[in-house]
């Protein structure tokens, strides 16, 4: 925590997050906290630092939140190039003396560092980009999922992604499964099924990742022959995911009756199968595309559809 605290104190000097040398000011602690990778440009680093510190500030009391955002030049009305001017602005907003506002800013940065330390520990990585290609014109539904991940600590040598594949209401088969294989980016060393609809995969990486290092891998998932699939492809992140795109290819001979966008939807509402998002049109090749940014954990993003007659085509 002392490393992050020291970096925050160094960052608040001068122009704060608006500093032209933000790439130098963001040391190892900030880079790990904000998921900064080696290729990131200064504008990208500035954006990541700003967004992450703003999220942490939301955990503070209102006066301390204001103090943190002002000290770091994140507050839209406190973009002054000098820290003394930002502290003076803060004092005016709080109705306090400047020295009191300065102490409030010191306390706020200390609490930001503590908030970062007390966050639930992740598994050392997050998803920078997730691209899914879904084919519904094959004998059985199949998906290729490509992810670019970023390590948030040194030594990440394995990852454990997961998949939720709920049973179709019309499915009376005794077994419920998915066929998974790793196309590239590591070795699939274990597949588990803790519950009927939840699958977990352990992937050993080719070599341990360092903080900020990126890695790409791809998995192919197939629904077993004869097992119907619910009429949606929806991703609900349980860790940070910066971007998600999906391309769905329908059989042009059997297009869906209706297709709609699922964006920031409580995941249980997906089960209602009621159109509540933007209606989409399948193109001449039978495809639908959608892309999402800055996904919120626990909400659903993707595409949902309704077949003519309301049932899934036989696979």
Residue 121's pLDDT is 58
Dihedral of CA atoms 270, 271, 273, 277 in degrees, nearest 10, equals -10
What pLDDT is stored for residue 60 in this prediction?
A: 87
Domain assignments of the chain as residue spans, ordered by start: 2-118, 125-306
Q: What is the pLDDT of residues 264-294, one digit of tens each?
A: 888 778 877 778 888 999 999 999 999 999 8
Closest by Cα among 136, 169, 133, 135 to 254: 136
Q: What is the pLDDT of residue 122?
A: 60
Q: pTM for this one?
A: 0.63
Q: How far is CA 50 from CA 60, 88, 175, 292, in A?
A: 16, 21, 48, 20
Distance between CA 196 and CA 177 in Å, rounded? 8
- Note the pLDDT of residue 28: 85
Q: Please, what sign has the CA dihedral across residues 153, 40, 242, 218?
A: negative
Task: Write the pLDDT tens digit of every residue in 93-120.
Answer: 999 999 999 999 999 999 998 888 776 5
The yes or no reply on domain 125-306 and CATH 2.60.40 is yes
pLDDT band at 11 (very low <50, low <70, confident <90, very high): very high
Predicted local confidence at residue 310, as pLDDT: 57
The confidence band for 238, taking pLDDT boundaries of 50, 70 and 90, is confident
pLDDT at 312 over 70: no
Position 75 scores a pLDDT of: 95
Model pLDDT for residues 201-222, shown as the tens digit of each residue: 999 999 999 988 999 999 999 9
Q: Given this model, what pLDDT does residue 314 score?
A: 45
> Residue 87 CA to chain centroid, in angstroms?
34
Cβ–Cβ < 8 Å for 196, 156 = no
Whole-number percent of the chain with pLDDT over 70: 96
> What's the mean pLDDT in 54-72?
91
Tokens describing residue 18: 């608006």
Q: 187 has which bridge partners?
A: 204
Render pLDDT for 126-183 as a digit per residue (tens, 0 to 9).
Answer: 999 999 999 999 999 999 999 999 998 889 999 999 998 888 887 777 788 999 999 9
Note the pLDDT of residue 271.
76
Going by C-alpha positions, the residue among 269, 257, 237 that lies closest to residue 305 is: 257
The residues pairing with 216 across neighbouring beta strands, listed in sequence order, are 148
Residue 85 in this model has a pLDDT that exceeds 50: yes
Of the candidates 40, 41, 52, the residue with the CA atom closest to the CA atom of residue 11: 52
């Amino acid at each position: 925590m002392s490393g992050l605290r020291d970096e925050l104190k160094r960052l608040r000097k001068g122009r704060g997050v608006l500093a032209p040398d933000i790439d130098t000011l963001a040391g190892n602690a900030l880079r790990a906290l904000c998921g900064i990778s080696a290729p990131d440009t200064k504008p990208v680093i500035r954006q990541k630092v700003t967004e992450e510190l703003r999220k942490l500030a939301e955990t503070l009391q209102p006066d301390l939140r204001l103090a943190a955002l002002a000290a770091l030049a994140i507050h839209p009305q406190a973009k002054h190039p000098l820290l003394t001017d930002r502290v003076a602005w803060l004092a005016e907003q709080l109705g306090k003396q400047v020295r009191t506002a300065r102490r409030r800013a010191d306390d706020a940065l200390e609490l930001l560092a503590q908030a970062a330390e007390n966050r639930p520990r992740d598994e050392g990585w997050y998803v920078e980009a997730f691209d899914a290609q879904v084919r519904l014109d094959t004998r059985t539904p199949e998906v290729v999922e490509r992810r670019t991940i970023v390590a948030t600590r040194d030594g990440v040598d394995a990852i454990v992604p997961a998949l939720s594949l709920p049973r179709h209401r019309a499915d009376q088969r005794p077994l419920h499964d998915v066929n998974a294989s790793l196309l590239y980016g590591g070795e699939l060393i274990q597949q588990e099924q803790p519950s009927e609809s939840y699958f977990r995969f352990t992937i050993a990486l080719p070599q341990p990742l360092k903080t900020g290092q990126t890695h790409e891998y791809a998995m192919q998932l197939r629904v077993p022959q004869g097992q119907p699939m619910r009429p949606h492809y929806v991703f609900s992140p349980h860790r940070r995911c910066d971007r998600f795109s999906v391309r769905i290819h329908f059989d042009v001979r059997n297009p869906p009756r209706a297709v709609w966008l699922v964006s920031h939807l409580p995941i249980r509402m997906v089960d209602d199968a009621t159109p509540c998002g933007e209606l989409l049109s399948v193109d001449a090749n039978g495809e639908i595309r959608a892309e999402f940014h800055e996904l919120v954990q626990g909400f659903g993003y993707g595409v949902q559809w309704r077949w003519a007659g309301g049932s899934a085509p036989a696979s």
